[in-house]
Amino acid sequence: MKSKLMQMLEERKEEMIEIRRYLHEHPELSFEEENTSRYIEEFYKGKDVKVDRKVGGGNGLIVTITGGKPGKTIGLRADFDALPIFEETDVPFKSKNPGVMHACAHDGHTAYLMVLADCLIQLKDEIPGTIKIIHQPAEEVPPGGAIGMIESGLLDDLDNIFGIHLLPMGPSGVVGYNSGYVFPGRAYFKLKVQGVGGHGSSPHLANDAIVAGAHFVTAVQTVVSRRLNPFDMGVVTIGSFDGKGTFNVIKDSVEIEGDVRAMTDETRTLIETEIRRISRGIEEEFNVTCELTYTPDYPPLYNNPELTEMVAEVLKNAIDKDITEVREFPKLSPSEDFAHYAKKFPACFFYICCTPKGVEKPYFNHHPKFNIDEDALLVAAKAVGQVVCGYYGI
């Protein structure tokens, strides 16, 4: 079956590119991807599969491919939302929705998986198990679309799940993997510091929220430097300090927003505990009130070591002109809501390199000039197809 699948994918490379370009021209933001969802649904019409739409109350779809023989059930996941970015590329298929762009390669994820799924449907009699194609919306915005897909109950029977991400970390043909905790978890916080306003000439009659807020900003920097084990990964970033006012008026309140990253659940819990402690201390030290909103969203992404080893071995042993190199990647710092699946099912999330040809310093995902080498779409389809065949021994 493997040789037949690879041949079918090669013959449909241009179709993958065509789908990717259509999606790139018509991006939609997280939780608003109704047209994209309909486009994907239309692709599966008339095919011998079960299609569940509007999964989890959102725009997700799950396509169930029931094999000709009983066996394990696996999930293959791709996301399809875009970002609120004004595109600055000069490609002929540039976004037609101003201020919205597929700047994270989700268009490519969806395109490869649609064609791979169709090929698997045609070969399903040879599959000893069930494959669930997971077209997921809203990866970019917390709480993320993965939660709704999981809570639908339609994935409860999964034995394992796989996903990929296109990244410009090498030329097309290079596939990367790593094991254990590979992406950090993430949390968002907002702190409102309420003091007492007053005249700039009479600070003793006021209670300066800016001073208290500034102290909070400085203090939270010690969480990573003085509370975390030096071998643990953690980041606390203050991204917004809203203290705009008038030069001679003491502000009565400020709002501070921040971002937390941590590579393990234990580290993420420790950082949250320390931020809450510092917030309470600011109240006592400056006689202000602090209203802290702390929202953990994406957990750390854990790649099951045994499953990842299987993926790496299958791909290293693949004799394929399009998969030119398979190597272990370092841990990466972004967060991914695929982590929700990986908390529930043994999972492997790996990487398909897509640096455009002739480019030495590519723009990374989320940049307004981000682009991919479209040859990577076939590499993605083949790599995941190889994993499916290796998993089932076909």
**Tell me, what amino acid is at 33?**
E
H/E stretch holding 216: helix 209-227
H/E stretch holding 40: helix 34-43
Which residue carries 């095919």 as its tokens? 47
Of the candidates 218, 214, 23, 248, the residue with the CA atom closest to the CA atom of residue 137: 23
CB distance 118 to 131 below 8 Å: no
Does the annotation count 41 as an active-site position? Answer: no
Phi and psi at 17, nearest 5°, equal -65, -40
In the DSSP assignment, the letter for residue 330 is: P
Q: Quick check: helix, strand or coil at residue 107?
A: helix
Contacts of residue 8, defined as CB under 8 A and 6 or more positions apart, other chains included, come to 119, 122, 123
- The answer to whether the Cα torsion of 274, 276, 279, 284 is positive or negative is negative
Contacts of residue 369, defined as CB under 8 A and 6 or more positions apart, other chains included, come to 88, 89, 363
**Catalytic site residue from 81, 252, 274, 337:** 81
Q: Quick check: helix, strand or coil at residue 144?
A: coil
Which residue carries 């410009």 as its tokens? 168
Cα separation values, 83 from 26, 87, 89, 154, 352, Å:
12, 10, 15, 27, 20
**Catalytic site residue from 33, 87, 107, 139:** 139
Does the annotation count 157 as an active-site position? Answer: no
Q: Which long-range contacts (CB under 8 A, 24 or more apart) does 328-333 make?
A: 328/176, 328/177, 328/178, 329/169, 329/176, 329/177, 329/178, 330/178, 331/178, 331/181, 331/182, 331/183, 331/233, 331/263, 332/182, 332/183, 333/183, 333/184, 333/235, 333/261
> Active-site residue numbers?
81, 139
